[in-house]
């Protein structure tokens, strides 16, 4: 469950080359948040698109996600729930060491899609193991107001709340 140092091969130059080297390096160690083999039904990935949903429009597609924590076995070694399934995320893809958030960057890099979404058990649109790097889909600068957005993209951070009297203000 420990975090590892970033290992993106910046010296390769192009996004495609960096992605290829990275994915080849980690291909033999595929892993999902809950273990080394993909398991149907473990995470929030067995929902379906709304009828009439042809792509990415919220009005016709909606979000058929599950509540956070609904799948308690979909848990990382660090105890994080719902990393797989429910909604994919756009993450920071640094193309230079200076764009790495872990090193204090405030300029950041480009968007990169990670994770899977709520229909993955029936429609696996792409790889989604933890260290897999996606092709440069929807690439734009992180926090760009014109960045790609879609009903199946999101990110939720949750915290369990104490229920006893000691938690009240």
**What SS3 state is found at 89?**
strand
In angstroms, the CA 72 to CA 151 distance is 24
In angstroms, the CA 150 to CA 88 distance is 10
pLDDT in tens, 107-163: 888 888 777 778 888 888 888 887 888 877 777 888 888 887 776 676 655 556 566
Q: Which residues pair with 75 in a beta bridge?
A: 81
Percent of the chain with pLDDT over 90: 7
User: Which of 13-27, 35-49, 56-70 has the least mean pLDDT?
Assistant: 56-70
Q: Taking residues 37-51, report their average pLDDT.
A: 87
In angstroms, the CA 117 to CA 159 distance is 21
Q: Note the pLDDT of residue 2.
A: 53
Q: Taking residues 25-51, report their average pLDDT.
A: 88
pLDDT in tens, 81-106: 888 888 878 788 888 888 888 888 88
């Amino acid at each position: 469950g420990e975090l590892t140092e970033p290992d993106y091969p910046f010296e390769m130059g192009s996004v495609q080359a960096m992605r290829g080297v990275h994915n080849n390096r980690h291909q033999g160690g595929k892993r999902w948040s809950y273990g080394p083999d993909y398991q149907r039904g473990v995470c929030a990935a067995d929902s379906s698109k709304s009828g009439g949903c042809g792509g990415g429009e919220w009005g016709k597609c909606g979000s058929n996600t599950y509540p956070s924590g609904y799948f308690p076995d979909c848990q990382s070694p660090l105890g994080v729930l719902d990393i797989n399934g429910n909604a994919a995320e756009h993450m920071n893809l640094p193309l230079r060491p200076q764009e790495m958030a872990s090193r204090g960057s405030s300029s950041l890099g480009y968007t990169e899609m990670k994770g899977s979404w709520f229909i993955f058990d029936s429609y696996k649109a792409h790889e989604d193991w933890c260290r897999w790097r996606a092709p440069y889909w929807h690439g734009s600068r992180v926090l760009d107001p014109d960045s790609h957005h879609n009903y199946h993209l999101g990110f939720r951070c949750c915290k369990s709340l104490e229920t006893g009297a000691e938690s009240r203000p």
